Amino acid sequence: MNSLDQQAALNWFAQFGVVESHFAQVLAAATAYGADDADLYFEHATSVSVSLSDEKVNAAYTSVDLGLGVRVVVGDQVGYAYTEDLSLESMIRAAQSAAQIAKGGKLHAPVKTSVLQLPDYYPINRHWSDVAISERVPMVRKWEQAAFARDARIKRVQASIADAEKRVLIVSADGRMAADYRPMTRAMVSCTAEDKGVRETNYYNIASRAGLDWYSDERQDRLVHEAVSRSIWALDAGTPPAGEMTVVMAAGSSGILLHEAIGHGMEADFNRKGISIFADRVGKRVAPEGVTIVDSAVLPQARGALNVDDEGSPTQRTVLVEDGIMRSYLHDRISARHYGVESTGSGRRESFRHPVLPRMRCTYMEAGNHTPDEIISSVKKGIYCESFGNGQVQIGAGDFAFYVRQGYLIEDGKLTQPIKDVNIIGNGPKVLETIEMVGNDLVIDEGGWTCGKDGQSVPVSQGMPTIKVKNLSVGGGRR
């Protein structure tokens, strides 16, 4: 089954007793009191992970998740219910529960379903369900042995490969039907290094909507190399001085700055409610010329890529900021209707247990004209941030933070002392205004990022060229 093959999706869910004639019956129950919108979200998700610790490939985990989410929308009100039991009786009971939001709403005539034609941004040669656990075991074993072989200071290694495949079928009361097959894989190597009484742990991970053949020798080699070198590197790293300073964000996972400083603030539900600091700023300048920020679902095999969103809307490359001017929020169908625009295909949910929210997919800044060397050498005193752990934002105040796992001091235009474990905090609009130089070296990070909002986690990607920003407060300990 792939995204182009609706019949395959119907066949897939038929094995759980779901047949096409059920859709109209369940939707009729969902819209019994009227609705502006209603949809059924069928999901079957399986996952496998194999992990190594203590020099043994000593654990495997598998999961199966199956269910239906029923959503009924009246204006911006949402009634939601779900069930793991796909019997018609149970599905109708869920629909009746979700329908109660709509008492007194207008009536919705049932429409014959039409099938959405979709692109496929993550074609796969071999499904993960056809890959035996015995094929995964030698991979993690190989990574572990390579990590130990690379440096005698590596004392402990943990490694894992986790993959998942999710099949979704979305049927809406306005007659749309869409299906998707979504593969995901993520590999992680974590090392503890010890030298002269100093001990440090660090890790590297790579993730993609791809199959087993994505694990090229080069990619596996980089996974191990980065995990080892980051752990060894940390043995000599220190703490930066505290206070406000100029920060150079390295190409790649620095996209975390965009995710927190502007991405969440552009999710249209926050703007519809007036609680984002970016509410009412569409069409206005929010960054200097030359700054273009994008949230895209269409990067092939990206962790955040989507053929179709979780309410059956086609996906796209959405320009949030074009040459410094704010252009578009990230919309689901509720906010699109509120603003009188098309959905940007940003309606996502963690699983059938969760209602749809506007979410990011892959957030990045387009490349500019400067070389990374030009940018670093322009800074007399500051810090350079290379890899990150986590971030957070307050949507309304605009304050955001990210945790730096790896960086350097910049002194007289050169990278000097390595630094780590430091939180950096700033205000989104203030920081965007101070983007001074944008590099020509855009990298979409290959890490397995997960974004949390309202208790829902979804996979995302992010990217960045090297950039220089001001007005960030660095949480160092040294004065």
Partner 1 sequence: MSSTIHTPEASASHETDSKKALLDEAVRVVETLRKLGADEASASYGWGVHSDLARREGKVETATSATSKGLTVSVLVNKKYSSHSTSDLRPAALDAFLQRAVEATQYLEPDPEQGQADIALCGRGATPEELDEFDAAWRDFTPEQRAQWAIDLEEAVKAHAPANMISASASVADGMNQSARAMSNGFAEVEEGAWYSLGAEMTLLDDGKRPEAYVYYGARYRSDLPDVQAIAKELAAKAQERLNSGPVESGQYPLILLNQAAGRIVGILGGPLSGGALYERRSCLIGKKGEKIGSDLLTLVDNPLIPRGLGSRPFDGDGLRAQKRTVIQNGVLENYYIGVYYGRKLKMDPTSSGASNWVIEAGQQSWQDVAKQFPKAILVNSFLGGNSNATTGDFSFGIRGQLLENGVPVKSLSEMNISGNIMSFFHKLSHVGNDPWTYSSMRSPTLIFDDVAFSGV
- 17 to 56, contacts with partner 1 by CB under 8 A? 50, 53-54, 56
Cβ atoms of 345 and 316 closer than 8 Å: yes
Judged by beta carbon, residue 9 or residue 118, the one nearer partner 1 is 9
Interface of this chain with partner 1, residues 156 to 185, rule: CB under 8 A: 156, 158
Q: Which of 127, 150, 155, 166 binds partner 1 (CB under 8 A)?
A: 155
Give, as ranges, the residues between 296 and 315 that touch partner 1 (CB under 8 A): none
Of the candidate residues 62, 369, 371, 377, the single one contacting partner 1 (CB under 8 A): 62
Indicate which single residue of 426, 447, 459, 465 sits in contact with partner 1 (rule: CB under 8 A).
426
Query: Restricting to residues 355-394, which ones interact with partner 1 according to CB under 8 A?
Result: 355, 389-394
Which residues in 427-466 contact partner 1 (CB under 8 A)? Answer: 427, 429
Please state, in angstroms and rounded to a whole number, the distance separating the CA atoms of residues 24 and 27.
5
Min CB(95)–partner 1 separation in Å: 12
336 neighbors 330 (Cβ within 8 angstroms): no
Residue closer to partner 1, measured from CB, 231 or 315: 231
Torsion over CA of 332, 337, 339 and 343, rounded to 10 degrees? 40
**CA-CA distances (angstroms) from residue 442 to 117, 361, 469, 474?**
31, 17, 16, 24
Q: Is 97 in the site for partner 1 (CB under 8 A)?
A: yes
Q: Which stretch binds partner 1 (CB under 8 A): 145-153, 195-203, 222-230, 339-347?
A: 195-203
Out of 29, 38, 81, 410, name the contact with partner 1 by CB under 8 A.
Answer: 81
For residue 212, give the DSSP letter. Answer: G
Nearer to partner 1, 258 or 438 (CB): 258
Is residue 131 a contact residue for partner 1 (CB under 8 A)?
no
Piece of 73-81, 303-311, 363-371, 435-443 that binds partner 1 (CB under 8 A): 73-81
Angstrom distance (rounded) from CA 198 to CA 236: 9
From candidates 2, 4, 5, 16, binder to partner 1 by CB under 8 A? 16
Q: Which residues pair with 169 in a beta bridge?
A: 42, 179
User: Which are the contacts of 367, defined by CB distance < 8 A and separation ≥ 6?
Assistant: 438, 439, 440, 441, 442, 465
Q: What is the dihedral of CA 358, 362, 365, 367, to 10 degrees?
A: -150
- Do residues 223 and 202 make contact, with C-beta atoms less than 8 angstroms apart? no
**Candidate ranges 205-213, 300-308, 406-414, 424-432; the one touching partner 1 (CB under 8 A):** 424-432
Judge whether 322 and 282 are in contact, CB under 8 Å: no
Q: What are phi and psi of 223, to 5 degrees?
A: -55, -50
Q: Which is nearer to partner 1, 220 or 473 (CB)?
A: 473
Is residue 100 within 8 Å of residue 74, measured between CB atoms? no
Cβ(168)–Cβ(144) below 8 Å: no
- Binding mask 320-359 vs partner 1 (x if CB under 8 A, - otherwise)? ---------------------------------x-x----
> Quick one: which of 21, 89, 109, 132 contacts partner 1 (CB under 8 A)?
132
Burial of 344 (0-12, 13-18, 19+ CB in 10 A): buried
With binding defined as CB under 8 A, does residue 479 bind partner 1? yes
Verify binding: residue 63, partner 1, rule CB under 8 A.
Answer: yes
Q: By rule CB under 8 A, what string of x and - marks binding of each residue 234-273 to partner 1?
A: -----x--xxx---------------x------------x
